[in-house]
């Protein structure tokens, strides 16, 4: 009896907790457009049939609970974009799931990993002010420990600060932006003139120069990553938005070798020692394994090896010989930069056709690897039906073939053809010889003269 009571209590408690978690995420309808303006909303636009949406659902409820418990002003909701397609289109929803933070008249799209921590961090960053103040050295030092890349405006009001605020409003979806007075700067950061925009990363700091770096937004977009990264598929997608080429050491971290370690070290040295020469055009890093790269270039990359990717046009570059030193790696990168290195791939028509064929082949192979029987049914049955149809069409005899042929003949040609057929029949009858029926018929039919004599 006690066990039954305990199970009932546990069931009631679980139901209560589940309903409490669900209450942190609001179901939105057509009235949302008129009621949202006074709040900051984090909304998941989903489709009921979408597998990725179903996978995100428990994470989304955790996001709602986390933001609610932390006292965040962000309200969390979800909307069926298929039921309210008009409203979804107004917010720029093109696929499912789409996560957007709505703040006044602005809508910020989330493009990061679909994990609770990443989504919560995005919501808190975008919901707050675009530029956050660092009033003291202690606060400055605290932020340096928390962030690998830190953008700071230093100085009083100026046209540069207005540009900085505009860049922050545009790029707050990617990183934080701070402002500080000269007195709040740590001793490790020294600036020759003010006002200035500085990025602190990789154990150093770098100052924005309007004449050399061009647009402030473009400079921030290119500098928002560390000089050297561990790269995966998602990071590579983000790097594509910077416009930089990506130099990658392809290694196997699960089974490290001396060669892998040497290539990784060479790449790190070039990223640090040749920053002034290559930073505007290249991002450096390493990738564990070659599976993702192989699918990207539709080929096979050796491990370990070096490859440079141009994500804007799907071109890639391979060194003509093994890279053994920093000088060789610098020479290879310089060749890519000046256009002398051989480019492979691209986004031309032939490459697009190859991509379609490659993706189709990859899909078929993955189906057969995961479930051979299902693969045979999905692809074998249609091929069998098509084969039978083709066989039937090719072997079918036309009943009216002779009639169609006769319709194309003139009257004289038809008479000649009939005479030829009769002649062929007579010749065939002569070759066969007389038969018994003919003899009986000859006996039965006597000449009239003979009948009269009888």
Q: Is 394 a catalytic residue?
A: no
* CB atoms near residue 234 (< 10 Å): 11
Residues 6+ apart with CB under 8 A from 114: 55, 56, 59, 97, 99
- Edge-to-edge strand ranges of the sheet holding 150-154: 132-134, 177-180, 150-154, 196-201, 204-207
Place of tokens 């997608």: 237
Q: Which helix (H) or strand (E) holds 80?
A: strand 74-80
* Separation in Å, CA 322 to CA 259, 306, 307, 332: 11, 9, 11, 10
* CB atoms near residue 156 (< 10 Å): 9
The one catalytic residue among 50, 376, 390, 394: 50
Place of tokens 């009896």: 1
Q: Which of 254, 348, 365, 358 is nearest to 296 (CA)?
A: 358
Q: Which helix (H) or strand (E) holds 330?
A: helix 326-338
The one catalytic residue among 53, 376, 390, 394: 53
CA 55 to chain centre: 17
The tokens for 125 are 């960053």
Q: Is 50 a catalytic residue?
A: yes
The tokens for 387 are 């084969």
Contact 47, 14 (CB under 8 A): no
Q: Which of 204, 76, 99, 201 is nearest to 150 (CA)?
A: 201
Write out the catalytic residue numbers.
Answer: 50, 53
């Amino acid at each position: 009896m006690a066990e039954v009571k305990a199970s009932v209590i546990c069931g009631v408690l679980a139901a209560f907790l589940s309903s409490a978690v669900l209450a942190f995420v609001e179901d939105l309808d057509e009235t949302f457009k008129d009621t949202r303006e006074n709040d900051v909303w984090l909304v998941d636009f989903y489709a009921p049939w979408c597998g990725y949406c179903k996978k995100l659902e428990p994470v989304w409820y955790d996001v709602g609970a986390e933001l609610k418990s932390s006292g965040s002003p962000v309200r969390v909701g979800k909307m069926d974009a298929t039921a309210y397609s008009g409203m979804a289109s107004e917010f720029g929803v093109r696929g499912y799931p789409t996560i957007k933070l709505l703040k006044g008249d602005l809508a910020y799209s989330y493009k990061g990993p679909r994990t609770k921590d990443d989504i919560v961090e995005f919501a808190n960053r975008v919901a707050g002010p675009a530029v956050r103040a660092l009033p003291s050295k202690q606060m400055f030092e605290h932020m340096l420990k928390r962030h690998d890349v830190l953008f700071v405006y230093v100085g009083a009001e100026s046209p540069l600060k207005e540009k900085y605020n505009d860049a922050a409003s545009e790029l707050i979806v990617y990183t934080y932006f701070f402002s500080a007075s000269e007195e709040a700067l740590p001793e490790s950061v020294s600036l020759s003139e003010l006002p200035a925009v500085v990025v602190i990363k990789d154990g150093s700091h770098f100052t924005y120069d309007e004449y050399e770096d061009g647009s402030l937004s473009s400079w921030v977009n290119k500098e928002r990553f560390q000089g050297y990264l561990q790269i995966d598929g998602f990071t590579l997608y983000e790097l594509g938005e910077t416009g930089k080429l990506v130099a990658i050491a392809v290694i196997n971290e699960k089974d490290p070798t001396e060669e892998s370690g040497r290539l990784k070290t060479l790449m790190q040295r070039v990223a640090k020692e040749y920053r002034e020469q290559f930073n505007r055009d290249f991002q450096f890093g390493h990738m564990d394994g070659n599976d993702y790269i192989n699918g990207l270039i539709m080929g096979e990359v050796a491990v370990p090896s070096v490859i440079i990717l141009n994500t804007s046009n799907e071109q890639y570059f391979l060194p003509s010989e093994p890279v053994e030193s920093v000088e060789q790696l610098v020479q290879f990168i310089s060749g890519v930069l000046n256009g002398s290195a051989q480019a492979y791939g691209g986004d031309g028509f032939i490459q697009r056709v190859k991509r379609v064929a490659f993706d189709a082949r990859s899909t078929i192979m993955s189906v057969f690897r995961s479930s051979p029987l299902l693969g045979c049914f999905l692809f074998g049955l249609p091929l069998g039906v098509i084969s039978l149809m083709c066989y039937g069409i090719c072997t079918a005899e036309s009943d009216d073939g002779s009639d169609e042929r006769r319709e194309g003949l003139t009257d004289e040609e038809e008479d000649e053809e009939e005479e030829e057929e009769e002649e062929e029949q007579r010749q065939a009858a002569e070759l066969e010889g007389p038969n018994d029926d003919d003899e009986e018929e000859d006996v039965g039919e006597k000449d009239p003269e003979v009948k009269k004599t009888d």
